[in-house]
Each structure stands twice: as C-alpha cells, then as structure tokens.
Amino acid sequence: MSNTPSENRARFGVPENSMVFARGVRKSYGPLEVLKGVDIDVPAGSVACIIGPSGSGKSTFLRCINHLEKLTGGILLVDGAFVGYDLRDDRLYEVKDDELCQRRAEIGMLFQSFNLFSHMTVMENLVEAPIHVRRMPAEQAKAEALELLARVGLSDKVDRYPRELSGGQQQRVAIARAMAMKPKVLLFDEPTSALDPELVGEVLQVMRDLAEAGMTMVVVTHEIGFAREIGDQLIFMDGGVIVEQGDPREMIANPQSPRTREFLSKVL
Amino acid sequence: MSKVDASETRPQPSSLVADVDRLVVVPRRNYGIWIGTALTLVLSFFILRAFAVNPAFGWETAAGYLFHPSIMRGLLNTLILTVVIMALAIIIGTVVAVMRVSPSPVLRGFAGAYVWFFRGVPALIQLIFWFNLALLVREISLTLPFVGEVFSIRTNDFMTPFFSAVVALSLCEAGYMAEIIRAGIKSVPSGQSEAASALGMPYRNILKRIVLPQAMRFVVPPTGNEAINLLKMTSLVTFIAVDDLFYSAQSIYARTFETIPLLIVVAVWYLAVVSIMSVGQHFLERHFGRSETRTDSWALRVIRSAFGSRAKEFSA
C-alpha cells in the first residue's frame, strides 16, 4: 500500500503535524491558468485565512483541497495523503469514485450560498451524510446532530426547512452539517459574504468557537478583522499566486508587498 | 409625497373626520365586462338549448350505455394502458434524462437522438409501426457462442395489439418525460450537488437523494398534464384493434348506428377520469412541494388545485 502519510512525509518533506500541504499547485481551465504554483502549509489545529481580490484563484485553490477541482500540476496532501490519487511506482492513479467519496467525507466544506439541501429539514440535512456515507446507525446520527445543533445554538430549529431560516442560521446549520462528518479540516469559501451585515457576527462566533476547540480551518474570507483575531497565518493571493503570507497581525499592520498594501487599504 | 409636517400628524378636529366619512366612492363602470358577460350568457343559453332540445343527442340512450359491460371493459383497458404506459415512460424517461445530463458526449448524444426521434414521429405512426414489426423482423432469438440458441420467438406471437400499444406509446411518451425530467434536474441549483459531493456522497446517491427529489417539484405539474394527454392519446390504439374505451364504443355504434350517444358516453368517461386525475395531481404536488408550501393556507391550496400549476405564479 502506498500513499501513506509516513511515505509521503519522507518523500515530499511534509512536516510532521501538517494538515494541508500544497507544493506548486497549478490549475488551468483550457488556456486560462487560474493557479500558477501555490505552496501552502497548514499545521493541524491552526487557522489559515486566504484573502485576495476576486479572480485571484483563492476559491479555486480551496476547491482543489477536497478534489472538487482536479489539479493540473503540483501536489496537494491532506493529513499527509493524496485526496484524489494513489501514488504507486511514481505514478498517480486516480482513485475510484467510492474511495474518493470516503476521503472527501473527512474534509468539510462551507459555501458562500450555504447550499443546505432545500427539500430536507435541518435534522435531515445533518443526518443524511452520516447515515448514507458513514453508515452510522440513524439513532446515533440523530443524537449527534442534536448535540451539534445545540453547539451552534439552533436546537429549536430541528424540524424547520432551510428556507424558513435566516441566512446566518442557515450557515450555522451548514457548519453543523459539515461537523457531523467529524472532518479533519474545514474549508470555508467566503462563508459570510452572502449574509446581511447584522448576521455575520453569529457565524463568525461559531467559527471562533471551532477554532478554539482546535479545528483545523482554511478560510477564504473578506473579514480582515476575523483573520487578524483568529488566524494563525494570513495568505494574500493575487493573479493565481501567493503574493505574501505570514502572521496576520504583522502582515495587516505592516504589509511588505505593494499589492498587499493596496488590497488591504481597500478592504480595511 | 410632500414632506410630512409635524402638525399634519396631530389628531384632526372631529368636524373634518365627519366630513371625510360623508364622501361617497362611485365605482368605475366597466362596460366591456358587462357586454362580455351578456354575450357569454346568451351564448351559453344557445349551447345548452342545442344540447337539450336536439333529440339526435339521445341523452337517454347515452345514459343507458354508460355502464354497459363492454364500455366498462373498454374503460378498464384504457386505464390499464394509461397506468402501465405512464409508469414505463417515467422509468425510461428518467434514464434518458440522466443520460442527457451525463458528462459522456456519447450518452448525451444517444439521449438527444432518442428524444428527437420519438417526439418527432407522430404517435399513431409509431403505433402502427410496432404493430407491424413482424414485417421487419420475423423472429427474435438469442444465440450465445458455444451455448447455441437460448430462445427464439416469432414476432407475431408476442406483438399482440395490446403489447405493441404498450411498447409504442411508452417509447413515445418517454421522449416527452425525458425532456420534463431533464428540465427538472437542470432547475436544481448546482450548489446542491456540490455540497453533496463535498460531504462525500457518490454520484448515484446525489442523483437519487438530492437532485431527483428536488427536481420532482418541477416535474410533477407537467407530468400530470402528460398523464392526462396520455389518457386521451391511448384512444389511438383503436387503430390496431385494442378494445379500449373508444374501440368498445365504436364497435357498439357500428352495429346500432347510435354514434352520437356513444361518443357522449366516451366523452363523459374521459372527463370523469381526467377530473379524478387532477385531484391526484394536486396531492402529489403538495407532497413534493412540502418544503416550499407548508406555510400556505388551506384556501390557497384549493385555489392552486383549481387553477392548476399556473396558480404558482401568483402564490409564489
């Protein structure tokens, strides 16, 4: 068996506690190159925030992590292992659909538009994947779902349909749905961008709680304040490359690159 | 609006309130509607009178045939045909629709050609074609290498009128159902299947548990219309001598020459079945729309069912 974390660690120099490890990640759509070689290290238990103008490739990179997009080049390891491939004899074999699904289930993802299943109640949304992907007994899945809903403060919405909830509540349900799979890492794709300003806080609070509980998170966001407060590293992307990365507080106070400085001056 | 002065919001003197209360509203007269109403009433009178006084309609004769055993058998066959064909059309149509949204260009192309052909050729021609399949293929046999002939059957032995009606009309109706279901699948936002993928659900599960159930809400109203169309379309099987409702009526009036009364009997039965189907459609719509409509009042649902799917536009 190949593609084991220990082998990859030795071969690619992956740090011991690495959760997301990217080297030279490239992605093209036809002639259009969206990612032009991205290197990222996200240690387990840390929060990485990615900022950048629209079209900078930050969402595409996030979607590469759980293999919703196939890489055109480079390597991307989650917890030391490839997500969409098996490495054997110097070849990357694409894994079968079922295997890919099992690996993807360990990587939670949150979307700008929440994407709760609109024909299901909150409870049905939460137990769908645990029951049908993880083969968890229904009783256990329901008990765990109730616990998670209590954690995001929505115990009273168990039997509501998504359209009966506010945007902030929907995103909190979506976070609970992702957590129901007990993921190793959570990916957030502009989780608060579609929310009314007064609803942003409740979602950020839930994310703050997760970070404090030790969840590894990669967050594409426009919330510079959140990045400064919670982020362990800040990554500024523009034109498909990482322009600058470092400690959020230092980088925001004293950006090195003129492009970073210009972007921060617009969003702060 | 002019800007509101603070004094305007103060309570008014009671004399002014009384004065305002005395104002009378004179409704606008809509002469067009009055003329239209009058003309419609006159027209309805003449139509009803024509039905009532013309003895050639033979209402008593029609009433006598309404529950005639061969009419009943015909009605039963019509219903069986409709249910069986619709069920097959939904199954085949779903398969074709899923092929049409598949990533493979070959599957997409095949499904496109299917819809193009079976929607393009008139149902009656397809029906007669399948009935005459024996002219094209004498027998159907399955021969495996090393095993030899597994089975063989003469086309005429299984292409009975009833069976060819089922084959022809299911394939034809499936062309329409495929388009309806495809439109339903396309109406589900792509974020839904993306979120399901991110949760680790495999493609077949995403289709079965996320996309198709949500597509149903868009699929049910036009499918109800298709079922009603199909019920009437089954009268075509008369041409290949399947004893459906229309064929039974025809074979009676061919003997007795009571043509009009028997056509009335047929029309009454079709209307009755269509009315029952409309009620069923309403309950199906409510079931698949439950995540959308549970706040609707009972009255609104009745209005919606009365006006069919179009009522969605003003209740949305």
pLDDT score, position A125? 96
Length of chain B in residues, anyone?
A: 316
pLDDT digits (tens, 9 = 90+) for A179-195: 999 999 999 999 999 99
Owner of token pair 């616990």: A147
Question: What percentage of residues in chain A have a pLDDT greater than 90?
Answer: 86
- Least CB-CB distance to A117: which of B200, B203, B210? B210
pLDDT digits (tens, 9 = 90+) for A214-243: 999 999 998 999 999 999 999 999 999 999
How many beta-carbon pairs under 8 angstroms link A with B?
74
**Does the pLDDT value for residue A198 go beyond 80?**
yes
pLDDT score, position B292? 64
Contacts B198 to A, Cβ<8 Å: 66, 68, 104, 107-109, 178
| Amino acid identity at A205 | Q
List Cα–Cα distances, A249 to A102, A121, A226, A261, in angstroms.
37, 41, 11, 14
Measured between CA atoms, the residue of chain B closest to residue A112 is B191
Binding-site residues on chain A for chain B (CB distance < 8 A): 66, 68, 97-98, 101-109, 111, 113, 115-121, 128-129, 132-133, 161-164, 174, 177-178, 181
Mean pLDDT over residues B83-109, rounded? 95
Q: Is B119 exposed, middle or buried (0-12, 13-18, 19+ CB in 10 A)?
A: middle
- Contacts for B267 with CB less than 8 Å, ≥ 6 apart: none
- Contacts for B48 with CB less than 8 Å, ≥ 6 apart: none
Domain positions in chain A: 5-106+183-267
CATH code for residues A5-106+183-267: 3.40.50.300
Q: Taking CB atoms and an 8 Å limit, are A119 and B191 in contact across chains?
A: no
Measured between CA atoms, the residue of chain A closest to residue B217 is A119
pLDDT digits (tens, 9 = 90+) for B165-189: 999 999 999 999 999 999 999 999 9
pLDDT digits (tens, 9 = 90+) for B113-161: 999 999 999 999 999 999 988 888 888 887 888 877 777 888 777 888 9
pLDDT digits (tens, 9 = 90+) for A120-172: 999 999 999 999 999 999 999 999 999 999 999 999 999 999 999 999 999 99
Binding-site residues on chain B for chain A (CB distance < 8 A): 189, 191-192, 194-203, 205, 209-210, 213-214, 217, 291-292, 294-295
Q: Taking CB atoms and an 8 Å limit, are B202 and A129 in contact across chains?
A: no
pLDDT digits (tens, 9 = 90+) for A52-72: 998 899 999 999 999 999 999
pLDDT score, position B301? 53
Task: Give the residue among A190, A237, A182 at the shortest CA–CA distance from A214.
Answer: A182
